[in-house]
Amino acid sequence: MTDPETPAATPPHTGALRRAAPALLGYAAVRVLGLVTLAVWSAANGKSAHRLLSQRWDSLWYTRVAELGYGYEVRLPNGDVHANLAFFPLLPWLERLGSAVTPLSYPDAGLLVSAAASIAAAWGIFAVADHVHGHRAGVCAALVWAVLPVGIVQSMAYSESLFTALAAWSLYAVLTGRWLTAGLLAAFAGLTRPVGVAVVAALWVAAITSFVGERAQGGSTPRTDGAQVWRRALAMIIAPLGAAGYVLWVGHRTGKGPLGYLDVQAGWRNGFDGGYAFGRFVAEKLTSFPSALAGVGLIVGVALILWLYVACVRQGQPPALLVHTGIVVALALCASSYFGSKPRLLLPAFPLLFPLAVALARLRTLRSALILGGVAVASAAYGAFWLNGSGPP
């Protein structure tokens, strides 16, 4: 779809912002609803919403990295070693920078980064869906991502929003042929979370597919085409530097070579086992009645994710999106521990939401708004209940 504003009337960046405005305003409204609900719920329980968002669970680990650097670890009674080397550095770096240039503490700088990144992520999701499925689907995609049951994580001092923003804009750059931008963003995504490999793989697949397609068409070689080829090749080199650089640095620091990062993850009892541990966890849930309902819910959830992925394939999503989504889903579902984390680990798999977004876009605006509004209220209540309870492990 083309922007109704002409380049002469509206600068490109202004037109892009105006086009994304419904998605961004709707996203912001959902996040405000979630935060207000959390504040009220937490106050009723004698807890601090601010602390729940910025100073618990993984956010504490990121803050310690920002304040003290790497080297902190906790030895548990069972012999496990939880080392902060497991946490990739981009979010702590930004927290340290935010605290240095503002009066904010490290936790509050983390909240600021998360808030900005969540808006950037919503915009990136809109941009990708708009490019693939049109404007209405783009707006709906950003809003569906906002109203996910674990959407409150997008407002926490966690790395999910930052990673999703980098991944979404890298994928958008791939889809629009901005290869160097895509490579740089993929490198930063690789400095944010281990699943950054999904963005790198998506870029590589798209680039290789482009090379093969051009060769099949006879390989025309105007100077502009040659420059594009070099940009694409350079993007493929740049993209993995973030993840590879950090993993190799951890291996050097631990003295265990290139696979040292895997040993760090093993200290957290985390790894990739093809889904065996998760399958056993679900099976154990089915052995008694109260927990059997949770087990059935997990099975239904996994089935829904797989069905949505098949729907993405049938929609004809570009290979880059399918590769990114497939790897994010595989790493989330096949991790060997932290089963309660799986829903939030799936947040970067935003193309899974495009079939739902397209379906909503086909409805009348009022009906779509009512559906999304109702889900937003339920999501806000669930997020407040969740963070005041077990919360993200």
Alpha carbons 354 and 316: distance in angstroms, whole number: 11
Gyration radius of the chain's alpha carbons: 21
Question: Which pTM does this prediction carry?
Answer: 0.93
Which residue type occupies 23? A
pLDDT at residue 7 greater than cutoff 50? no
- Residue 3 one-letter amino acid: D
The answer to the question of residue 8 being in a domain is no
Is 14 within a domain? no
Longest dimension (CA), the chain: 69
pLDDT in tens, 100-155: 999 999 999 999 999 999 999 999 999 999 999 999 999 999 999 999 999 999 99
Burial of 143 (0-12, 13-18, 19+ CB in 10 A): buried
Give me the pLDDT at residue 216, please. 75
For CA atoms 288, 294, 295, 296, give the dihedral sign: positive
pLDDT at 9: 37
Q: Decide if 4 is inside a domain.
A: no
**Angle between helix 58-68 and 106-133 (nearest 10):** 120
CA-based torsion, 247, 321, 212, 184: positive or negative: negative
Asked whether 350 and 123 are in contact (CB, 8 A), the reply is no
Is 2 within a domain? Answer: no
Number of domains in the chain: 1
Question: What is the spatial distance between Cα 112 and Cα 265, in angstroms, rounded to a whole number?
Answer: 28
Q: What residue spans of the chain are helical by DSSP H?
A: 12-44, 49-54, 58-68, 90-101, 106-133, 135-146, 160-175, 179-190, 196-216, 223-238, 241-254, 260-267, 276-285, 289-315, 319-333, 342-345, 354-361, 365-387
**pLDDT tens across 220-259, in order?**
444 447 778 899 999 999 999 999 999 999 999 999 988 8
275 — pLDDT class (breaks 50, 70, 90): confident
Residue 266 lies inside a defined structural domain of this protein: yes
Contacts 24+ apart (CB under 8 A), 97-102: 99/66
pLDDT at residue 3 in the model: 38
Segment among 93-102, 225-234, 297-306, 364-373 with least mean pLDDT: 225-234
Give me the DSSP letters along 53-74.
Answer: HHSSTHHHHHHHHHHH-S--EE
Q: Which residue has the higher pLDDT, 165 or 286?
A: 165
Once rounded to an integer, what is the mean pLDDT over residues 289-314?
91
How many other C-beta atoms lie within 10 A of the C-beta of residue 293? 11
Q: What is the pLDDT of residues 183-224, one digit of tens each?
A: 999 999 999 999 999 999 999 999 999 988 777 776 544 444
Q: Give the pLDDT of residue 8.
A: 36
Task: Tell me the per-residue pLDDT of 161-177, one tens digit each, with 9 for 90 and over.
Answer: 999 999 999 999 999 99
Please give the pLDDT value at position 344.
Answer: 94
d(CA 31, CA 37): 10
Please report the pLDDT score of residue 78 as a whole number: 87
- Using pLDDT thresholds of 50, 70 and 90, give the confidence band for residue 291: confident
Q: Which domain holds residue 275?
A: 19-387
Distance CA 45, CA 367 (A): 35
Summarize pLDDT for 326-343 with one digit per residue, the tens: 999 999 999 887 778 899
Task: Give the pLDDT of residue 4.
Answer: 34
Task: Give percent of the chain with pLDDT exceeding 90.
Answer: 77
Predicted local distance difference test score (pLDDT) of residue 227: 79
3-state secondary structure of 152: helix
Mean pLDDT, all residues of the chain: 92
Between 67-76, 87-96, 155-164, 350-359, the lowest mean confidence (pLDDT) is in 67-76
Tell me the two tokens of residue 36. 């207000």
Mean pLDDT, residues 352-379 taken together: 97
